[in-house]
Chains A and B, each alone.
Chain A
C-alpha cells in the first residue's frame, strides 16, 4: 500500500492538497509523492466519495501500528480493535445515510499519555499513575471526538513531560523510526514517532519547553506549538502550568493546522485559555496552483543570530541556511536578528519549570489515586509513595524547584527567572514587531543515540536551547523538516518558525508553502517507505 519514497523532484502539482483536489491514488499513502499531502484532507475526500470506508482506514492504521510497534514502542496503550472499529463503523453509517460528519471524521489520533482520556489509562509516563483512568476527557480530546476523530491510543513520553528523549518514561524506551538506535526526542517522543511511522494520522503532544518541536524535528514530522492560551490545558497533566501547551503533530503542515483548528478556543474549564477568536486555519492551505511565483513576497523573516553559532551542529546550520535561501526564493525578505537575552532562556526555563512542577506534582501523594505505598504514618505514606512512584529526573526537578522557591532563595532564583522571562518576552515582541516570523533550528543537533545523554542531564537540557525561549514568551512556533544530516540517508533536520502571539495563521501559511515547494525531500522514514 505504501509506495517507496521517490527521488526528489522539482515543484510538483499541489492539487492534492485541498478539498478541491482530485486525489485518486491510494488514500492511505502517507506520502506516495513528495511533498507531503494532507492525510486528513485526502482521507476525507476518499471517505465522502465512498472510495474507502472508515473501517478500512482504521484497519490499515491498526495493522501498521502493530507492525511497527515492537520496534518503535511509541504507544503505552492502544485502543482495542473492536472499539476503534465500532467508532469507524458508526462513521460509515453516517456517511452512508448522508448525515453530516465532522471535519476530522475517521482521523486516527494518537494522544500523548499526559492528556486525559476517560476510556483509556492516562499515566503521564509515571509509575505513580500506573493504571490510572481519569473520569473525564481533556477538553482537546473531547473536541477531537466531537469532530469525528478516533483516538487510537496513548503515546509514550518522558515522565510528566520532563525530558528530551522519551527515555524518561517509566515504562518503555521509544525508538526513532528513522534509526532505531536513536531517540525520537521528547518529551512527546511517542507522538512524534507514531506520526513519523504513520501509526496514526496525527497526534497530540504537549510542549513546555520544546516537547513537541524537538521530537518533531528528530522524527522528521511537523510539530506545532500554539500560543499559550490558544488551546485549553484542561485535562493536560500539569508539568509547568505557565508554560504548558497542548500541541499538534502531523506529517504535513496542513494536518497539524487542521488538528489545531479542532482543538483551539476558549474553555470555561481553563481560566488561562484565551477568548481571542480562532481563525479558520484550513483557509491557509491554498493549492499552489493559485499562488504566484513569489507567494511569500514582502514577508519579513528574521533569522535569530544566536541560534546559528557555536554549539549547533554544522549540518543543522547548513540545512537551516538552505531553508532560509528557499524562503528567499519564495519572496521573503530575510535579515538577521540578534536576541542578546536568548541564552538566558535556558536557566530561566529550568528554574521556572522546576519550581512550578515541584508544586504541580505535590498532588501525587498516594492518598486519593495512583500508586500508594502503605505507611503506618501519614508521612511515610507520602514519602514512600512518592519515592517509589516518581522517577529520578522528576525527583531531581522537584528538588530543584523546591529549592528555588524556598524562603531565602526565592529572590535569587524564582523571582530573577521571572525577570528574565519578562526581558525575553519583550525582546521577542520587539523582534516580531519588525519581522513577520523568526527563524531558528528546532534543535542544535539531529536525533542522537539512545543512552547517549542519559547520564548527562546538562547536555540534555542544553539541547532545549532553541525551544525554551518560545515557551517563556508564550509564542506560537512551527517546526517542519527542512533537510537531512549527512545527505539523503541521514536524519531529518527541523527548522523552527516563530510567530507573534495568536498568529498561528501566518506560521501555517508560510510553513505550508515552504513545505509544498521544498524540492528534493521526502520525509518518510525508510522503515515505513520500504514496506
Chain B
C-alpha cells in the first residue's frame, strides 16, 4: 500500500487534483492480458519508479500555477493485415530480416505497388470509430528521402487529402487520477506508410497533462483492438506515440515553441515524459529563458527519466511530395462506408456508458471495458441472468487474479461465461455457499467442467437442513467439552473455534448463517 502511494505520488507529481494522492483502496491486477492488456493506469503498477521528493513536487505545482501545456499526439498504428500494404508478402513481427520479401517490397526495378484492400477497410473503420468525416476520394502521395530501410527512396503516404479527418475521441480518465470525461479532437487519419501498413492518427492539441495524453493513447489502443485492426502493442511498436508539446503562460493565446518527443514505449513513459517536459519548459519560462526552448525532436530516456535533444530542426525537411502515379485514387462509396459502419462492434465509449447505466461504478466500468475479450466474457455472463455486480466482482477479483498469476488471457481460461453464471446462481440460490463457490471457481478456471458436475462429484451441496446441522453441532460440542466450559465461563471468543470445527466436520458445506444461529443457541442454552 505504501509503495502504491509513493508511485502515485511520483507519477502524478503535478496533478491538479489533490484526490490523486489518495491511494487506491484495492490494488487490483489490471493486467488481464499480460502481453497486451496494459492501459495507462494499469501500467504504472509494473513500473519501478522512484518517488520524487516533496520539495520537487511542490516545485512542479508552483510552476504549473502559472503555465499551461499544450499537447498533441501523432499515433502510428500498425495494421494487422495478413499481408503488407502494397504487396502480398506476409507480415510477421519478429520474423528474420528479409525472409518475407518480394520484388515489390524490395523496390526492384519494374515492380509496382498494389494496395491491399484490407488497409482501406481498417482505415475506414478507425475513421468511423473516431467520428471522423471520411474523404470519398483521397489519394496517395510520395514522400521522398533517402534511408537504408526505404528501398524505393520514397514512402507511399497520404499528404494533403487524408482518408478521414475532423473527428474526436472520448476518454474516461481513471478514477485514481481524479476521474472525469474528456473529449479530444482528432485532426486526421491517414494511410501513412508503405510496406508494413501504418495508419497515422493525428490529434488536435487538446491535451494538457501527461495523464490525459496517456489516456488518449490508451483509448486509441482499446479502439484499435476493439476494431480488430491492430494488436496495438506498444513494445512491438505496433502502436507508437510521438508527442508534440509546448508550454505557455496561462491566458496566453498563441502556442509556445513546440518540441517533439519520441521513443515513448509505454503509456507511462508518455505520461512521465510529458510531465518531465512540461516542467523543463515551464522552468525555462519562469527563469526568463523561454528562448532556449527550440523546435526540436527530443528522445525520452527511460533510464534517466529525462528527455534529451535528438536533432534540432534546421528548417523544414523538403519531402517533395507529389501524387503517387502508380496507384489510382482511393474512392469510397457511401454504400461501402455504411456497410463498414454497420459492421463496427460496440466501441469502448458506448460500452462504458452501457456498463455505467447498469449501475457499475467507474472503476469497474473501466476495468471491464478495457479489454474487449473481458468485456465479451462479462457480457456473456450477465446474459445468463447473473447479477451484474456479482459477475463484475468475480471477474475483477478471483478470475483476474488467477489470470494474472498464470499469465493467461481470459480466452485461455477453462471457465465459460455460462458456468460463471451458473456458479453465481448456485450461490444466490443457496445450493452452495460462497466459500465452496470459490473452490469450485478455481477448479473451473483451471480444469473446466460444469458447476453442477463439480457439486455432484464432490458432494458439495450445502447442508441447509437444521436438524442435520444440529446433530453436528451437538457432536462437536460433545467432543470439545473443555472449550465449551471455557466459553460458558465467559470466553465467548471461542465461538469462532466451534464454528471452524463444525465447518471442518461438514467439509465446509454447512450453511454459515444457519450454523451460526444453531451454534449460538446451543452454546447459550443452559446445560
Q: Contact residues of A with B, CB < 8 Å?
A: 115-116, 122, 124, 129, 132, 134-136, 138, 233-238, 240-242, 268-272, 355-356, 358-359, 362-363, 365, 367-369, 378, 382, 402, 405-407, 410, 414
Q: Determine whether the beta carbon of A135 is less than 8 Å from that of B103.
A: yes
Using Cβ atoms and an 8 Å threshold, which residues of chain B touch A356? 322, 325
Contact of A134 (CB < 8 Å), options: B110, B115, B142: B110
Q: Determine whether the beta carbon of A271 is less than 8 Å from that of B115.
A: yes
22 contacts between A and B (CB under 8 A): A116-B109, A116-B110, A122-B109, A136-B103, A235-B110, A236-B110, A268-B114, A269-B104, A270-B112, A271-B113, A271-B326, A356-B325, A359-B153, A359-B154, A359-B320, A363-B109, A363-B153, A378-B148, A405-B320, A405-B322, A407-B318, A410-B320
From B318, which residue of chain A is reached at the shortest CB distance?
A407
Contact of A368 (CB < 8 Å), options: B106, B154, B322: B106
Chain A CB within 8 A of B107 CB: yes
Q: Contacts A136-B103, A362-B154, A363-B151 given: A237-B114 contact, CB under 8 Å?
A: no
Most buried by A among B106, B326, B327: B326
Q: Determine whether the beta carbon of B142 is less than 8 Å from that of A359.
A: yes
- Beyond A234-B110, A410-B320, 19 additional contacts (C-beta under 8 Å) are A134-B103, A134-B109, A135-B108, A235-B110, A238-B112, A240-B325, A241-B326, A269-B104, A270-B112, A271-B114, A272-B327, A272-B328, A356-B325, A359-B144, A359-B153, A363-B153, A367-B148, A402-B320, A406-B318
Q: Determine whether the beta carbon of B107 is less than 8 Å from that of A368.
A: yes
Contact of B146 (CB < 8 Å), options: A124, A242, A270, A365: A365
Using Cβ atoms and an 8 Å threshold, which residues of chain B touch A132? 109
**How distant is B524 from chain A, measured CB to nearest CB, in Å?**
88
Q: How far is the CA of A124 from the CA of B108 in the complex (A)?
A: 13
**How distant is B86 from chain A, measured CB to nearest CB, in Å?**
9
Give the 9 A-B residue pairs with the shortest CB-CB distance, closest first: A362-B153, A242-B325, A241-B325, A405-B320, A235-B110, A237-B109, A116-B110, A407-B318, A363-B107
Using Cβ atoms and an 8 Å threshold, which residues of chain B touch A378? 148
Q: How far is the CA of A135 from the CA of B108 in the complex (A)?
A: 9
Q: Determine whether the beta carbon of A365 is less than 8 Å from that of B110.
A: no
Contact of B144 (CB < 8 Å), options: A134, A270, A362, A410: A362
Q: Count how many chain B residues have C-beta atoms less than 8 Å from C-beta atoms of the other chain.
A: 29
Most buried by A among B115, B316, B322: B322
**How distant is B156 from chain A, measured CB to nearest CB, in Å?**
11
Chain A CB within 8 A of B351 CB: no
Q: Determine whether the beta carbon of B326 is less than 8 Å from that of A363.
A: no
Q: Contact residues of B with A, CB < 8 Å?
A: 103-104, 106-115, 142, 144, 146, 148, 151-154, 316, 318, 320-322, 325-328
Q: How far is the CA of A124 from the CA of B153 in the complex (A)?
A: 19
**How distant is A515 from chain B, measured CB to nearest CB, in Å?**
32
Q: Determine whether the beta carbon of B322 is less than 8 Å from that of A233.
A: no
Q: How far is the CA of A240 from the CA of B142 in the complex (A)?
A: 14
Using Cβ atoms and an 8 Å threshold, which residues of chain B touch A129? 109
Q: Determine whether the beta carbon of A134 is less than 8 Å from that of B153.
A: no
**How distant is A29 from chain B, measured CB to nearest CB, in Å?**
36
From A369, which residue of chain B is reached at the shortest CB distance?
B108
Contact of B112 (CB < 8 Å), options: A234, A358, A359, A368: A234
Q: Contacts A365-B153, A367-B148, A378-B148 given: A359-B109 contact, CB under 8 Å?
A: no
Q: Determine whether the beta carbon of B152 is less than 8 Å from that of A362.
A: yes
From A268, which residue of chain B is reached at the shortest CB distance?
B114
Using Cβ atoms and an 8 Å threshold, which residues of chain A touch B322? 355-356, 359, 405, 410, 414
Using Cβ atoms and an 8 Å threshold, which residues of chain A touch B152? 362-363
From B103, which residue of chain A is reached at the shortest CB distance?
A136
Q: How far is the CA of A237 from the CA of B107 in the complex (A)?
A: 11
Q: Determine whether the beta carbon of A272 is less than 8 Å from that of B320.
A: no
Using Cβ atoms and an 8 Å threshold, which residues of chain B touch A367? 148, 151
Using Cβ atoms and an 8 Å threshold, which residues of chain B touch A233? 110, 112
Q: Determine whether the beta carbon of A406 is less than 8 Å from that of B320.
A: yes
Q: Determine whether the beta carbon of A238 is less than 8 Å from that of B110.
A: yes
Q: Determine whether the beta carbon of B111 is less than 8 Å from that of A234.
A: yes
Using Cβ atoms and an 8 Å threshold, which residues of chain B touch A363? 107, 109, 151-153
Q: How far is the CA of A236 from the CA of B114 in the complex (A)?
A: 15
Using Cβ atoms and an 8 Å threshold, which residues of chain B touch A355? 322
